[in-house]
Amino acid sequence: MKQIVADAAIKEVEDGMILGLGSGSTAALMIKSLAEQIRSGKLKNIKGVPTSFQSEVLALELNIPLIDLASVPYIDLAIDGADEVDPDFQLIKGGGACHVREKLVASKANKLLIVIDESKLVQNLNQVFPLPVEVMPSAWKQVKDIISEMSGVSNLRMATKKAGPVVTDQGNLILDVLFDAGIKDPKDLEMRINNIPGVLENGLFVDLVDKVLVGRIEDDVPVLFSPSRKS
């Protein structure tokens, strides 16, 4: 299911493009499909801008030419996954703790294409998946207390194969936040959280998405569809 979505995303790529290379399992399949197209000569003069150390390592292993985000005035197309997508194409990202670089790449892209499986489609953000908030290590408790006053329950994300918390590519910590009844106004909440001292960025991606490709299973067969934006 994820593979057909990843392969479909590559059909949006044209010769000479600067591509934002997303993070996560579906994005990794997309990067592998991209590498095969480059290797076979079907795509030429492609340069990638990685959104994480994970996608950078994978692209280098597959010999995809990379360029630094600071070196490009724009990105033609960014292809990335998401943890939740609502009917207005607002997103929660950051399950892999890469949302800061992902948002930098997305905001610089002329087009943002999101590739997901059907389980990521939701009617209302944050009822199930927590909102990641990246914070300075010295500020996590202060930020947690302020978010609590906003009716948000925060948990410091802990690592699974090391002692202590998850540390991002930027050297920060992650608070995973659930709000009462989810997030009703993503645009307002994105700004409010980012205005808290000590917060670097949060995982709400608002008004950035141009197209969503979704994979699902029908009669035991993986199929692809592209939903329309609600508004």
The predicted-structure confidence for 14-40, as pLDDT tens digits, reads as follows: 999 999 999 988 899 999 999 999 999
The C-alpha angle 23, 164, 100, rounded to 5 degrees, equals 30
Euclidean distance between CA atoms 78 and 51, whole angstroms: 9
pLDDT at 219: 82
Share of the chain above pLDDT 70, in %: 100
Beta bridge mates, 153: 178
Residue 198 contacts residue 142 (beta carbons within 8 Å): yes
Euclidean distance between CA atoms 63 and 210, whole angstroms: 28
DSSP code, position 48: E
Confidence of residue 76 (pLDDT cuts 50, 70, 90): very high
The predicted-structure confidence for 140-170, as pLDDT tens digits, reads as follows: 999 999 999 999 999 999 998 888 999 999 9
Least Cα distance to 34 among 58, 69, 70 occurs for 58
Region 116-125: what's the mean pLDDT?
Answer: 95
pLDDT at 103: 97
- Residues marked active site are found at 102
pLDDT at 39: 96
CA-only gyration radius of the chain, Å: 18
Kindly write down the DSSP assignment for every residue of 152-168, as one continuous string: EEEEEPBPSSSSSB---
pTM as predicted: 0.93
